[in-house]
Amino acid sequence: MTLQQPTLPLNGAAPFNPADHRGDHLLVSEMVVPGSRVLDVGCGDGDLLQLLERRGVDGRGIELSREGVNKCVAKGLAVVQGDADTDLDAYPDDAFDYVILSQTLQATRQPKVVLENLLRIGHRAIVSFPNFGFWKMRLQLLIGGHMPRTDNLPATWYDTPNIHFCTIKDFVQLCDEINVKMERAVALDLYGRPLRLNAPWWFWNLFGEQGVFLLSRRGKER
């Protein structure tokens, strides 16, 4: 009997398997048009950037932690060390097609200023964050009497980098306040699956474990 050797992709990359990626990362990547210029702010270890590069995206990243930067560079990604609160001012207007802030908004010192900078630097911004109004969060506060912890917010209250928790409702109100257009909004459940599109905001705010928003500045869309 002849054993057949497994065939590897010609470019040496592993075959794409959606199960290997987080649900919010897959959704974010679908929102980005292939071939776009993208800046990933707070890119962590570069998993989302790698996923975007599969779509032919010209991706760049900034990451606060030196460990994260080192992991990204080891993967061949164009990532520099930087702080979303202080270093976005250095980027020129409309430098990117998309600026992404994935699971980082709650760790910024000035979320409103950061969001305004995202939409100044990019034609569009994609923001994802854990929803502090999620029913499991409420239950832990109500029944357990302690600060909630989830897979997306695993740290204890005394060592968490997160300082500005918000709900989906809070974020929608902020977008209205700074005149931001929501081109697309999706709430994901505990397993990373999208909730019903026609559900009202209160339903998303209660049952959405995280929110993912595609945004643009009104009058700036193209």
Q: What is the dihedral of CA 41, 46, 48, 53, to 10 degrees?
A: 100
pLDDT category at 162 given cuts 50, 70, 90 is low
Q: Is residue 148 part of a domain?
A: no
Specify the amino acid at residue 50: Q
Distance CA 210, CA 155 (A): 17
Q: Is residue 47 part of a domain?
A: yes
Q: What is the DSSP letter of 133?
A: T
User: How many secondary structure helices (H) and strands (E) does the chain include?
Assistant: 7, 7
Distance CA 120, CA 115 (A): 9
Q: Is residue 50 part of a domain?
A: yes
pLDDT category at 107 given cuts 50, 70, 90 is confident
Residue 161: Cβ within 10 Å count: 11
Range of the domain at 120: 22-132+164-217
Q: What DSSP string runs through 106-132?
A: GG-S-HHHHHHHHHHHEEEEEEEEE-T
Domain count, the chain: 1
Q: Is residue 198 part of a domain?
A: yes
- Looking at the predicted structure, is the pLDDT value of residue 220 above 90? no
Q: How far is CA 173 from the centre of its chain?
A: 19
Pair of tokens at residue 29: 């990547």
Which residue intervals of 142-191 are DSSP H helices?
A: 168-177
Q: Is residue 155 part of a domain?
A: no
- Sign of the four-CA dihedral 106, 111, 115, 120: negative
Close Cβ partners of 76 (under 8 Å, ≥ 6 residues apart): none
How many residues in the chain? Answer: 222
Q: Is residue 40 part of a domain?
A: yes
What integer is the mean pLDDT of 162-186? Answer: 91
The predicted pLDDT at position 190 comes to 87
Q: Is residue 8 part of a domain?
A: no
CATH code, domain with 175: 3.40.50.150
User: pLDDT tens, 142-154?
Assistant: 888 877 777 777 7
- pLDDT higher at 143 or 28: 28
Q: Is residue 121 part of a domain?
A: yes
- Looking at the predicted structure, is the pLDDT value of residue 8 above 60? no
Distance CA 152, CA 210 (A): 9
Distance CA 128, CA 30 (A): 14
